[in-house]
Amino acid sequence: MPSYAYFQKQFLPLEEAKIGIMTHALHYGTAIFEGIRGNWNESRGQTYVFRLREHFERLARGCRVLQIKLPLSVDEMCNLSVELMAKCGFREDAYLRPVAYTSSQALGVRLHDLEHDFFMFVIPWGPYLDVDKARCCVSSWHRPEDNAIPPQIKANGIYINNALAKTEAQKAGYDEAIMLSPDGHISEGSGENIFLVMDGKLVTPAVNNNILMGITRNTVIELAEKELGLETVQRAIDRSELYVADECFLTGTAAHVTPVSEIDDRKVGDGEIGEITAKLQELYTRVIRGEHPDYMHWCTPVYDK
């Protein structure tokens, strides 16, 4: 099944969508991207795109920070996404990658007096952290400060930081890195937010702990409250708290809810998937596949029925 792209105002096979080697974004990382999942529901023969609008709203916010003029509205990008996914016709989990980028064929480090464009493509994509439970380490690489490179926007250039951390962790035999903020508090994984379970509550870094405000993070907070009656405390978390938490898990569009079994060679709890983590994982899986009637407003169907 071929992948398609939306590129320069048209749909075309992915391999035909090409950019020039002088493209500004390629040299300086001057782009904003998103990662959006289409979740395949086998019994209904349907793919549901999860929280589509929220992803494009975050993209639009990032563009404001980088002064990227988006050629399309949020609604137009949402509609084109569904059209593109339908055109690809995948009958498995798929991943949509929209990018708003500085398209000028021009050198010179700046944000102003440049042209912008938007493309996106869809590929089939299964689990991201392909493990039942992840072994993590605290990275020697810190997350940048908001006044260095704002971590709250999904700017392409900032992902050098994430890549340094991820490779360091994997080469040392771990599945994922946990990065600290410049002031030494827990920030996030290389592509996920982090949650701890402590004394029957969820605890997660707050907005000013140099994190991306994850859509999965927001989803989990809402599901925990509404479905399990669990409060989430958003606050600065010390490194040593990782070692004494009852449970820990990572959240992300690509990673879903991934339990963490070990951090810095210390078991989290008894090293097995925690009770609350398992409940949230089960709920989240149902919600994103359009199998929970109360959360269908988060699910956009791709195929006409």
By CB under 6 A, residue 253 contacts ligand PMP: yes
Taking the alpha carbons at both ends of the chain, their separation in whole angstroms is 21
Binder to ligand PMP among 38, 214, 290, 301 (CB under 6 A)? 214
218 residue type, one letter = N
By CB under 6 A, residue 62 contacts ligand PMP: no
Binder to ligand PMP among 135, 217, 256, 289 (CB under 6 A)? 217
Judge residue 189's burial from the number of C-beta atoms within 10 Å of its C-beta, 0-12 exposed, 13-18 middle, 19 or more buried.
buried
Helix, strand, or coil (residue 91): coil
Among candidate residues 245, 237, 287, 281, the one with its CA nearest the CA of residue 266: 245
Segments of the chain assigned E as strands: 4-7, 10-13, 31-33, 36-41, 46-50, 94-102, 116-124, 134-138, 176-180, 186-189, 193-198, 201-204, 232-234, 247-252, 256-263, 266-267, 299-301
By CB under 6 A, residue 188 contacts ligand PMP: yes
Query: Nearest approach, Cβ of 13 to ligand PMP (angstroms)?
Result: 26
By CB under 6 A, residue 144 contacts ligand PMP: no
Question: Of 214 and 301, which has the nearer Cβ to ligand PMP?
Answer: 214
By CB under 6 A, residue 29 contacts ligand PMP: no
Helix, strand, or coil (residue 283): helix
Strand-pairing partners, residue 10, are 7
Query: Nearest approach, Cβ of 176 to ligand PMP (angstroms)?
Result: 11
By CB under 6 A, residue 166 contacts ligand PMP: no
By CB under 6 A, residue 252 contacts ligand PMP: yes
Binder to ligand PMP among 35, 124, 150, 157 (CB under 6 A)? 35
Among candidate residues 279, 151, 165, the one with its CA nearest the CA of residue 225: 279
Query: Nearest approach, Cβ of 22 to ligand PMP (angstroms)?
Result: 27
Question: Of 217 and 289, which has the nearer Cβ to ligand PMP?
Answer: 217
Residue in the structure block whose two tokens are 């590929």: 123
By CB under 6 A, residue 193 contacts ligand PMP: yes
Catalytic annotation, residues: 154
Query: Nearest approach, Cβ of 253 to ligand PMP (angstroms)?
Result: 3
Please identify, among the stretches 42-50, 117-125, 210-218, 263-271, the one whose residues bind ligand PMP according to the rule CB under 6 A: 210-218
Distance CA 161, CA 182 (A): 13
Binding site for ligand PMP (CB under 6 A): 35, 162, 188, 191-193, 212, 214-217, 251-253
